[in-house]
Amino acid sequence: MPRIALMQGNEAVAEGALAAGVRFYAGYPITPSSEVAEVMARRMPQVQGVFIQMEDEIASIMAIVGASLAGKKVLTATSGPGFSLMQEGLGYACMIEAPIVILDSMRYGPSTGMPTKVSQMDLMQSRWGTHGDHWLIVYSPSSVQESYDLTIRAVNMAEKYRTPVVILSDETISHLREPITIADVSPTVDRRLPAERAGYLPYKTDATLVPAIANVGTGFRTSFTGLVHSDTGFQTANGHVAEALITRLRDKLLSKLDDIIELEADRVEDADITFISFGITARGVAEAVDVLRTRGKKAGSLRLVTLFPFSDDRIRKAAGNAPTIVVPELNSGQLVLLIKRVFGDSRRIVPLNKVNGDLISPADILNFVAEEKL
């Protein structure tokens, strides 16, 4: 029977991960994500899992990559400064196709900024932080329940597509307590493993474009490298192989957008003004839309649950036809850059930014709409 529990966002991420089968956690404390480590330190021994506090965030991401190659489902959690340090390892995980999940709980930046204040300033970094062409999945929870659910989904997607998945949360959700419903069992996905040793080519793929790579220690003798590699797993500097690899890494995700992308539209059909937002900001939007509607203003909301891959097409379709689109976010304007690209000149795109460490409240939105005469 599903049970209801009051949890903090960070706890929900940890419990969601455990429910999804995560049995290895490596991390380094940092506000506002540290509670994930603290919960894992307590919980892992109870489920015969491994908790290890590493010497830094670089070691943390590399340790989960190692554990992932050894067959574990894995998680690490951090915030901006640690996420910056993890970027090289993140690209490595993309390249060798190691299923890993990273929580980045956003705080105010840049640099150490304001460690206990909320922001949504790592949005673009979550897509472009590491060097080189790469693709990954980024989810954005906006509640504690979703922190739990999306973590399960993140783990499953990481396994299914052998890709890093980032959960881009924030200080508010990390520390918010809400009652959540926990199912007895959660749907889990396990990575596909190769059937037999004969003819085993770790990076050879079928139509799914996702390789069935053996876990280390199971007799398949796989070779992993962050260098460009052929189906054999061995390095090559062959341009054709490189192009094929990089293209497959893209297409294995971009060809599965139906499965990966979740957008939540609310009353956009007849809207005159639609808000496009993500994460905690969508909560203020939801309330503001209610109020606007009661005031007779046709408002709607599109919430990006999946931030990346970012599909211009899907967002265009899901957003409805409101002539005015407002993009509220807790940064100086990042999502709005993408939204502008999506809609070209066809709509009026209005950024609404707050960078003082507080949330965008329903009142902020209502005032903005009034002031800007939207």
Ligand X SMILES: Cc1ncc(C[n+]2csc(CCOP(=O)(O)OP(=O)(O)O)c2C)c(N)n1
H or E, element range at 144: helix 144-161
Angle at 100 between CA 98 and CA 102, to 5 degrees: 145
The mark string for 190-229 relative to a copy of itself (x by CB under 8 A, - otherwise) is -----------------------------------xxxx-
The whole-angstrom separation of Cα 286 and Cα 268 is 12
The whole-angstrom separation of Cα 311 and Cα 215 is 32
Contacts by 211-217 with C-beta closer than 8 Å and gap 24+? 211/97, 211/162, 213/97, 213/162, 215/69, 215/70, 215/71, 216/69, 216/70, 216/71, 217/70, 217/71
163 near a copy of itself, rule: CB under 8 A: no
Tokens linked to 325: 């689109």
359 near a copy of itself, rule: CB under 8 A: no
The whole-angstrom separation of Cα 121 and Cα 79 is 11
264 near other proteins, rule: CB under 8 A: no
Q: Is 360 helix (H, G, I), strand (E, B) or coil?
A: coil
The mark string for 18-47 relative to other proteins (x by CB under 8 A, - otherwise) is ------x-x-xxxxx-x--xx--xx-xx--
Tokens linked to 31: 């506000």
343 near other proteins, rule: CB under 8 A: no
69 near other proteins, rule: CB under 8 A: yes
Candidate residues 2, 132, 199, 217; the one interacting with other proteins per rule CB under 8 A: 217
The whole-angstrom separation of Cα 178 and Cα 186 is 20
Residue 28 or 308 with smaller CB distance to ligand X:
28
Closest by Cα among 50, 155, 56 to 102: 155
131 near a copy of itself, rule: CB under 8 A: yes
Residue 93 or 318 with smaller CB distance to other proteins:
93
231 near other proteins, rule: CB under 8 A: no
State the nearest-atom distance from the C-beta of 312 to other proteins, in Å. 28
The mark string for 66-85 relative to ligand X (x by CB under 6 A, - otherwise) is ---------------xx--x
Tokens linked to 211: 């390789």
Beta bridge partners of 78: 104
Give φ, ψ of 178 to 5 degrees: -145, 155
Residue 103 or 152 with smaller CB distance to a copy of itself:
103
CA dihedral sign of residues 6, 277, 374, 270? negative
CB 214 within 8 A of CB 222: yes
Residue 14 or 352 with smaller CB distance to ligand X:
14
Residue 223 site contact among other proteins, a copy of itself, ligand X, none (CB < 5 to 8 Å, cut-off depends on kind): other proteins
Candidate ranges 24-32, 296-304, 312-320, 349-357; the one touching ligand X (CB under 6 A): 24-32
284 near other proteins, rule: CB under 8 A: yes
State the nearest-atom distance from the C-beta of 111 to ligand X, in Å. 9
Size of the site for other proteins (CB under 8 A): 81
State the nearest-atom distance from the C-beta of 337 to a copy of itself, in Å. 6
29 near ligand X, rule: CB under 6 A: yes
Residue 176 site contact among other proteins, a copy of itself, ligand X, none (CB < 5 to 8 Å, cut-off depends on kind): other proteins
H or E, element range at 128: helix 123-128
Candidate residues 16, 32, 49, 91; the one interacting with a copy of itself per rule CB under 8 A: 91
Output the furthest CA–CA distance in the chain (Å, rounded).
69
Residue 60 or 130 with smaller CB distance to a copy of itself:
130
Candidate ranges 14-22, 49-57, 185-193, 329-337; the one touching other proteins (CB under 8 A): 49-57
Residues lying near ligand X in the complex (CB under 6 A) are found at 28-30, 57, 81-82, 85, 112
